Amino acid sequence: MTRLRVDHNGSLAIPGELIRQLGLQPGGAVEVEASESGLLLHRVPDQPQPSLQQSIARKNLAVGMQFIKGVGPKLADLLAKREIHTVEDALFCLPHRYEDRRELVPIRQLQPGMPQVFQGTVLSANGATTKGGRTVFEVLVQDATGSILLKWFHANPLWMQRTWKVGRRGVFTGEVSSFGYLREVHHPDVEWLAEGADVQAVMAADPVNFGRIVPVYPLTEGLHQKAMRKVMRQIVDNYLDSVENVLPLSLLSPHRYLPLREALSQAHLPPSEATLADLNTGHTPAHRSLAFDEFFFWELGLALKKRGVALEEGIAFQVTHRYTKELARLLPFQLTAAQRRVLSEIKEDMMAPHPMHRLVQGDVGSGKTLVALMAALVAVENGYQVAIMAPTEILAEQHWHNIHHWCDQLGVRVVLLTAGLRGTAKKDAMALVADGSAAIVIGTHAVIQDKVEFQRLGLGIVDEQHRFGVLQRGILKKKGNNPDILVMTATPIPRTLAMTLFGDLSLSVIDALPPGRTPIETRIYFESRRHQVYELIRGEVGQGRQAYVIYPLVEESEKSDLKAATQMAQHLQAEVFPGLRVGLLHGRMKPEEKEAAMLAFKQREMDILVATTVIEVGIDVPNATLMVIEHSERFGLSQLHQLRGRVGRGAHRSRCILLTPGKLSEDGERRLRVMEATTDGFKIAEADLEIRGPGDFLGTRQSGMPDFRVASILRDGAILEQARDAACGLLEQDAALTSAEGRRIKEELLRRWGTRLELAGVA
């Protein structure tokens, strides 16, 4: 038996023989684990030091663009505007499209709708003015087969006249447009030919811009494609070898993905077998491989984070039913089976000894708030505080109205804490939070400010999670000692997006509406039929029902829009419905005024409620059967879906009228047609994501959406699934990423996403 001694400093002395048995080198480390039979010592695998070659490669990738040959301070500043600061940034700045410049096309054979390369001689060059008053510069060029018109809008005519001289020959690249029998090329690129020069020889001498499929890079004002291409070619030729292929072939080969270095090479310099269509849609092996690489590291980070949460010590709540049973007794209805199922999943998480991280998705009116309140009461029963965070003051106030109504009857104190709270009121609210008197705290970002201190935070509930990033969740978590986190969204989020944003959360879906909800018929009405819409309102009120008229607010602070909503209410009351009772509700009213207006409408003291989008959430009036949305083309799909969800809450037939002036953009019309066609929240979300793209779909740029440089969650959904499976598979084989391969992957993960995902304590 080997005896270990603890010296006077409290250090554990390990005999030399044991050090040799463990294979410890100077500076090595051991882990000490207590077991029933005593202490167990484990050697901690040494962290590999990067080789000299790796160190040089990393330094090369970090070289600033201003130090690249031919890139002076001016060009470096222009590149910085495109977020290209280092060699690595440049390598990952991929072309946003490609042009086939392998062969010259005779002018007669030029096809409309695609970029092509042709040569010709300038026949004429003149400035002109269109019927609409726009200045345009027109150049006619011809070759042996025919002629074509080149056009520039808002060009400097003096400079153009000096450059485009009659008789000058050039090689032109541009997309051909067709107007009836006329063909035109707008703003083509040009490579001028010296007198008597052979065009094929000129093209052969410039392999960066001709004789191949040529990359077209995103630019910024003052940065020209030719200069950009030259810089990028130099970077690829001189620095691509510094890129490390971190992912092993065992992860890439099942789906025939390329190593990172090869994929980058082919994306910048497409091989001859690549097709223009695949290149321009991101479907080449190179683009797919780069998307997999990006998704893999993001999904690995989320999976590690999820495992880290499962290993952290949390609060093991007891379900005592002290308040939850009492609330269930007070409710005038029963919970749906879907609500009960989700609630039991939440309770199971809360009873576990590690922190809950769960996302609850539920369509408009599915009863998420009630489920969240039940979860909050479980924490309160255990003597803990609950923070409920909403993205806007309006939404926070709505939650406060709904929750304090029930909690007052249960004797549970609820406090509202928003940025709008001032002076003594704010001070008092914060004191109640700090001394623990406030059991449930509802608010906006104000809840996670440094000055707000909780006495004993046990549960954080985040509403409309897509408006908050991973970091905001992290700050809320630090307000307590590893509190449980419950996240809610009424925006049905497509699976690929949910995987990208919330891979570190467990998912619950409330997939059924409460009984008694009726389908809502939706119709588009153009301005010319406004009188018919007013007749529909009269008809509904005549049958004892009520109606909403929603007016768009671009921003709550825009007084002109607010005035328009107020004037609308006055106009309807005085001139359209003088015999009916018209009310008004908007975001600038005081909380008690809003509550009074909502209550009056609910108690049938108003027939028509004119409102801004303040009613998007929270109001439940079963007797309201008609929703008229003015300027419906101004709203996003998910917002229209939320607004529509305010009707159809009773047993009577309900309708939603989308009023629009009729001058619709293509996207505007698509949105309204989708609303007419379906009430399925997930179908609407898919369409919304398709129309607007992830950034706008999420409503804000601080949405926690990762900044993918190549991957697209719309285009590459299948690749995302593969990346997730590969990341989880790797962790099953190497849970702590301690193998040589695992350590390299972990190091790269921390470099890419460590800060963003707060992985320091996990990975």
Same domain, residue pair 381 and 430: yes
Whether pLDDT at 703 is above 80: no
Same domain, residue pair 162 and 293: no
Tokens describing residue 96: 């946003």
Tokens describing residue 393: 């003051």
Q: Tell me which of 213-217, 413-417, 526-530, 609-613 is least confident.
A: 609-613
Confidence of residue 579 (pLDDT cuts 50, 70, 90): very high
Q: Tell me which of 64-73, 363-372, 752-761 is least confident.
A: 752-761
Confidence of residue 554 (pLDDT cuts 50, 70, 90): very low
- What count of other Cβ atoms lies within 10 Å of the Cβ of residue 520? 20
Tokens describing residue 210: 């001709």
Same domain, residue pair 295 and 347: no
Whether pLDDT at 757 is above 80: no
Whether pLDDT at 147 is above 90: yes
Confidence of residue 94 (pLDDT cuts 50, 70, 90): very high
The structure tokens 């495992």 sit at: 307
The structure tokens 């092509």 sit at: 116
Q: Does a structural domain hold residue 204?
A: yes
CATH number at residue 142: 2.40.50.140
Same domain, residue pair 301 and 232: no
Q: Which of 174-188, 239-253, 576-590 has the highest mean pLDDT?
A: 239-253
Share of the chain above pLDDT 70, in %: 86
Query: What domain count does the chain have?
Result: 5
Confidence of residue 465 (pLDDT cuts 50, 70, 90): low
Average pLDDT of the segment spanning 698-727: 77
Q: Does a structural domain hold residue 143?
A: yes
> CA torsion angle for 344, 348, 349, 350 (degrees, to 10)?
90
Q: Tell me which of 46-55, 200-209, 506-515 is least confident.
A: 46-55
Same domain, residue pair 599 and 639: yes
Q: Does a structural domain hold residue 300?
A: yes
Q: Which of these three, 247, 267, 302, is where a domain ends?
A: 247
The whole-angstrom distance between residue 720's C-alpha and the CA centroid of its chain comes to: 15
Rg (alpha carbons) of the chain, rounded to whole number: 32
Q: Which of 1-15, 321-335, 490-504 has the highest mean pLDDT?
A: 321-335
CATH number at residue 369: 3.40.50.300
Same domain, residue pair 482 and 599: no
CA distances from 466 to 183, 490, 678 (A): 47, 10, 23
Residue 471 makes CB contacts below 8 A (sequence gap 6+) with 704, 756, 758
Whether pLDDT at 516 is above 80: no
The whole-angstrom distance between residue 252's C-alpha and the CA centroid of its chain comes to: 27
Q: Which tens digits make up the pLDDT trace of 651-666?
A: 789 999 999 987 788 8
Burial class of residue 195, CB neighbours in 10 A (0-12, 13-18, 19+): exposed
Q: Which residue has the higher pLDDT, 557 or 79?
A: 79
Tokens describing residue 513: 């509406």
Same domain, residue pair 151 and 229: yes
Q: Does a structural domain hold residue 77?
A: no
Confidence of residue 93 (pLDDT cuts 50, 70, 90): very high
Q: Which residue has the higher pLDDT, 541 or 39?
A: 541
How many whole angstroms separate alpha carbon 693 and alpha carbon 681? 17
Cα-Cα end-to-end distance for the chain? 36
Tokens describing residue 197: 């020069």
Same domain, residue pair 166 and 236: yes
pLDDT at 538: 96
Q: Which of 18-32, 173-187, 538-552, 633-647 has the highest mean pLDDT?
A: 538-552
Confidence of residue 412 (pLDDT cuts 50, 70, 90): very high
User: Which helix H or strand E contains 125, and what residues bound it?
Assistant: strand 115-129
Whether pLDDT at 467 is above 60: no
Residue 627 makes CB contacts below 8 A (sequence gap 6+) with 520, 547, 548, 550, 643, 644, 646, 647, 654, 655, 656, 657
Average pLDDT of the segment spanning 621-628: 92
- What is the residue-averaged pLDDT of the chain? 84
pLDDT at 700: 45
Q: Which residue has the higher pLDDT, 411 or 667?
A: 411
How many whole angstroms separate alpha carbon 537 and alpha carbon 535? 5
Q: Does a structural domain hold residue 317?
A: no
Q: Which residue has the higher pLDDT, 700 or 42?
A: 42
How many whole angstroms separate alpha carbon 638 and alpha carbon 249? 42
Whether pLDDT at 496 is above 60: yes
Q: Does a structural domain hold residue 114?
A: yes
Q: Does a structural domain hold residue 64?
A: no
DSSP at 458: E
pLDDT at 366: 77
Whether pLDDT at 556 is above 50: no
Sign of the alpha-carbon torsion through 446, 449, 455, 461:
positive
Whether 491 contacts 509, CB under 8 Å: no
Same domain, residue pair 343 and 306: no
**Which residues of 494-613 form beta strands (DSSP E)?**
506-510, 520-526, 546-550, 582-585, 608-611
User: Which helix H or strand E contains 98, and what residues bound it?
Assistant: strand 97-100
Same domain, residue pair 266 and 145: no
User: Which helix H or strand E contains 50, and what residues bound it?
Assistant: none
pLDDT at 35: 54
- Strand pairing class (12-13; 169-179): unpaired
Question: What are the φ and ψ backbone dihedral angles of 696, each rounded to 5 degrees?
Answer: -75, -35
Whether pLDDT at 344 is above 90: yes
Q: Which residue has the higher pLDDT, 416 or 715?
A: 416
Whether pLDDT at 384 is above 50: yes
Average pLDDT of the segment spanning 30-38: 60
Give alpha helix (H) positions in 626-702. Answer: 637-644, 666-677, 681-697
pLDDT at 20: 65
Confidence of residue 102 (pLDDT cuts 50, 70, 90): confident
Nearest residue to 750 via CA among 737, 759, 740, 741 = 759
Same domain, residue pair 603 and 631: yes
Tokens describing residue 41: 């010592």
Give alpha helix (H) positions in 167-284. Answer: 199-204, 225-239, 249-252, 260-268, 276-281
Q: Which tens digits make up the pLDDT trace of 278-308?
A: 999 899 999 999 999 999 999 998 888 888 7
Confidence of residue 589 (pLDDT cuts 50, 70, 90): confident
Whether 348 contacts 515, CB under 8 Å: no
Same domain, residue pair 334 and 441: yes
Q: Which of these three, 451, 476, 510, is where a domain ends?
A: 510
- Its pTM stands at 0.67
CATH number at residue 39: 2.10.260
Tokens describing residue 372: 């969240």
Average pLDDT of the segment spanning 615-634: 82
Whether pLDDT at 417 is above 60: yes
Whether pLDDT at 697 is above 70: no
Q: Does a structural domain hold residue 370?
A: yes
Average pLDDT of the segment spanning 535-561: 79
Q: Which structural domain, as residue segments, surrounds residue 539?
A: 520-678
Q: Which residue has the higher pLDDT, 574 or 588?
A: 574
How many whole angstroms separate alpha carbon 420 and alpha carbon 426? 9
Tokens describing residue 728: 């989880």
Q: Which of these three, 653, 678, 703, is where a domain ends?
A: 678
CA distances from 636 to 134, 394, 488 (A): 33, 18, 20
